[in-house]
């Protein structure tokens, strides 16, 4: 639909007798870009392997608010993988930003921002930052988190040739879940921008507790869920999946 609009703009240039040059075409494209494409919420995730995971989580809870404010993140949290993790001791530290512009601007903070440098200096355990990756939220919702809040996630990385169709079906699956007693389960799609899974999509199924997440996974065999899972099977392939429990450290 978007490119049909671009074609229409270019066609209107032709009909008006204007010579369509590359500059005309670029101008037409820029003028017709939807406002919603100008910025989408972004997420940065640090995969950290800590010698003492408990000490790292404690530090993240204490230093998270100050670091988040220093780098202009809207929400932050620390997650402990429970299944599907790549290495024992791995943790995920995430920050949400209003846009990739804001998120990318924070990339040098551990080396240049005095507050971030000071807070990192308070960490009392050895740790290795194994990966740093960037994601774009494809179906953003109004964030509703509080510091200290916990939740459980089932993250599924998929390969799909139809990201928009996949996100649309994920939204439909979420609506069906609400109608069938899972109004407390959220589903968010992330476009993976970096790393070995770049170009793929991560679906994050979030529930308030691990038990509640397990109940949702149990419901996959139900008639209402199978209807959507059969559609998913036609448009995506699993790459990797893992579960984790998270604590909000900035909101």
Q: What is the pLDDT of residues 182-239, one digit of tens each?
A: 999 999 999 999 999 999 999 999 999 999 999 999 999 999 999 999 999 999 999 9
- C-alpha closest to that of 205 among 152, 154, 246, 142: 154
pLDDT at 8 over 80: no
Note whether 232 and 169 are within 8 A (CB): yes
Structure token pair of residue 132: 């740093």
Q: What is the pLDDT of residue 88?
A: 87
User: At the top level of CATH, which class does the domain 150-242 belong to?
Assistant: alpha beta
Sign of CA dihedral 178, 215, 190, 3: negative
pLDDT at 82 over 70: yes
- C-alpha closest to that of 239 among 158, 166, 170: 158
DSSP-assigned states of every residue in 171-231: HHHHHHHHHTT-TT-EEEEEEE-SSTTTT-EEEEEEESSHHHHHHHHHGGGSHHHHHHHHH
Q: What is the pLDDT of residue 38?
A: 61
Q: What percent of the chain has pLDDT over 70?
A: 85
- C-alpha closest to that of 63 among 21, 110, 17: 110
Distance CA 212, CA 232 (A): 22
Note whether 250 and 96 are within 8 A (CB): no
The whole-number average pLDDT for the span 34-41 is: 63
- C-alpha closest to that of 83 among 170, 213, 228: 213
Same topology, domains 42-137 and 150-242? Answer is: yes
Q: Any bridge partners for residue 118, and if so which?
A: none
The whole-number average pLDDT for the span 44-54 is: 96
Q: Any bridge partners for residue 43, and if so which?
A: 96, 135
pLDDT at 21 over 80: no
The residue to which tokens 């993140």 are assigned: 73
The whole-number average pLDDT for the span 71-93 is: 95
The pLDDT confidence band at residue 129, using thresholds 50, 70 and 90, is: very high
Distance CA 109, CA 240 (A): 30
Q: Following CA atoms 173, 175, 181, 182 in sequence, which dihedral angle do they give, to the nearest 10 degrees?
A: 70
pTM of the model as a whole: 0.82
Q: What is the pLDDT of residue 14?
A: 39
Could you tell me the CA-to-CA distances from 196 to 9, 28, 204 in Å, in that order? 38, 35, 18
Q: Where are the domains of the chain?
A: 2-37, 42-137, 150-242
Task: Go through 143-166 and write b for each residue having 16 or more CB atoms within 10 A of its CB, e for each that does not.
Answer: eebebeeebbbbbbbbebeebeeb
Q: Any bridge partners for residue 52, and if so which?
A: none
The pLDDT confidence band at residue 4, using thresholds 50, 70 and 90, is: very low
Q: What is the pLDDT of residue 141?
A: 83
Fold of 42-137: Alpha-Beta Plaits (3.30.70)
Maximum pairwise Cα distance, the chain: 70
Q: What is the pLDDT of residue 39?
A: 83
Distance CA 80, CA 88 (A): 10
**Average confidence score pLDDT of the chain:** 87
The whole-number average pLDDT for the span 77-96 is: 95
């Amino acid at each position: 639909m978007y490119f049909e609009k671009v074609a229409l703009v270019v066609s209107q240039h032709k009909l008006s007798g204007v010579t369509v040059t590359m500059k005309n075409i670029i101008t037409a494209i820029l003028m017709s870009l939807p406002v919603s494409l100008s910025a989408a919420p972004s997420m940065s995730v640090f995969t950290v392997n800590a010698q003492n995971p408990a000490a790292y989580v404690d530090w993240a809870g204490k230093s998270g608010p100050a670091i988040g404010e220093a780098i202009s993140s809207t929400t932050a949290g620390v997650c402990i993988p429970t299944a599907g993790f790549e290495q024992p001791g791995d943790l995920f530290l995430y920050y949400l930003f209003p846009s990739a512009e804001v998120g990318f601007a924070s990339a040098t903070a551990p080396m240049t921002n005095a507050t971030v440098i000071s807070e990192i200096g308070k960490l009392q355990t050895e740790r290795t930052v194994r990966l740093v990756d960037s994601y774009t939220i494809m179906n953003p919702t109004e964030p509703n988190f509080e510091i200290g809040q916990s939740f459980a996630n089932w993250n599924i990385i998929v390969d799909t040739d139809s990201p928009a169709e996949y996100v649309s079906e994920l939204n439909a699956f979420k609506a069906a879940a609400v109608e069938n007693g899972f109004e407390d389960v959220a589903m968010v799609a992330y476009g993976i921008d970096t790393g070995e899974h770049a170009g793929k999509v991560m679906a994050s199924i979030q529930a308030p507790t691990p038990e509640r997440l397990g109940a949702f996974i149990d419901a996959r065999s139900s008639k209402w869920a199978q209807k959507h899972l059969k559609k998913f099977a036609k448009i995506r392939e699993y790459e990797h999946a893992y579960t984790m429990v998270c604590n909000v450290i900035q909101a």
